[in-house]
Amino acid sequence: MMSGGNYTTIDSQKVSGSVPSVPDPGHTTVKFAESNLQTFPPSATQGKISGGSNPPRDADDSFSGQGNGSTDEPQSGGWLHKFTVGAYKPFFDVDTSDVVERLKESLFPFRGTFTEKTADKPDLYGPFWICTTLIFVAASIGTFVTYIAHKWKKQEWNYDINLVTWSAGVFYGYVTIVPLALYVVLKYFSAPSGLVQLFCLYGYSLFVFIPALCLSVVPVEIFRWVIAGVAGFMSATFVALNLKAHINSAGERSILIIASIFLLQLALAVVLKLYIFNVKV
């Protein structure tokens, strides 16, 4: 090896002697097997997937409503249809404007046009909401008044759960039993009325008791009697006038039926005054 300046010379014989030579392998042929890849989506029908980008024919169409079996109508028929949820769905198909309009109508009992306006589409949502609200208002107001009174007098206070159960029994029971009984009576006198329409009428007739309950917090007994009396009179007039035109077809006994309906509604107001409007400590 010789070195001089910036150059370095390496003996090629020594390098070649230390590194063995590699023989030339020549040309190598590489063969690839035929690919089994397929295009997507497949053109032919395979299994549940059809050609193109369409979904499977047995896919769930419950949201799109375009399937063969997707329909809002229940499949069962006959009397079994009454035990399905779909049978009562039309009676809850109301919006806020419908309910508010019917609530306003119940506060003007002398019009007597409620049955005409709800004849094509009576609902059960309003009566259920009114009864549930009455139960809540009766329990909450009674509890609040007694709690404040006990704390003011520095007495021990205990929550009375019976007020909730009693209120639920009165309101739900009244709106259910009375229309059923009236439906049988009207059918007997050949003046039948729709059962759902009677439920609707009696349910909305109780709406006036909600503001009356709120006013019952005033600790003046005569004022509570006036509030209960006015609410009962408005409710009774609302029911009687809306059923008068229909019950007139019952003949001579129509006056007796209307008077019974009126007095029964007044009796409800008296019961509410004695057991709910009367908050004592």
- 184-242 pLDDT tens trace: 988 888 777 788 899 999 999 999 999 998 888 887 889 989 999 999 999 999 999 99
Is the entire prediction scored with pTM above 0.75? no
Residues with Cβ < 8 Å from 90, sequence gap 6 or more? none
CB 236 within 8 A of CB 206: no
HEC string of the chain equals CEEECCEEECCHHHHHHHCCCCCCCCCCCCCCCCCCCCCCCCCCCECCECCCCCCCCCCCCCCCCCCCCCCCCCCCCHHHHHHCHHHCHHHHCCCHHHHHHHHHHHCCCCCCCHHHHCCCCCCCHHHHHHHHHHHHHHHHHHHHHHHHHHHHCCCCCCCCCHHHHHHHHHHHHHHHHHHHHHHHHHHHCCCCCCHHHHHHHHHHHCCCHHHHHHHCCCCCHHHHHHHHHHHHHHHHHHHHHHHHHHHHHHHHHHHHHHHHHHHHHHHHHHHHHHHCCCCCC
Please tell me the predicted confidence (pLDDT) of residue 118. 86
Phi, psi of 46 (to 5 degrees): -130, 120
- Structural tokens at position 157: 């206070």
Per-residue pLDDT of the chain (281 residues; tens, 9 = 90+): 444 444 444 444 444 445 555 555 555 555 555 555 555 445 444 443 444 444 444 433 332 333 343 344 444 456 666 666 666 677 787 888 889 999 999 999 998 889 888 888 888 999 999 999 999 988 888 777 777 766 777 666 666 677 788 888 999 999 999 999 999 988 888 777 788 899 999 999 999 999 998 888 887 889 989 999 999 999 999 999 998 877 876 667 788 888 999 999 999 999 888 887 766 55
- Give the total residue count for the chain: 281
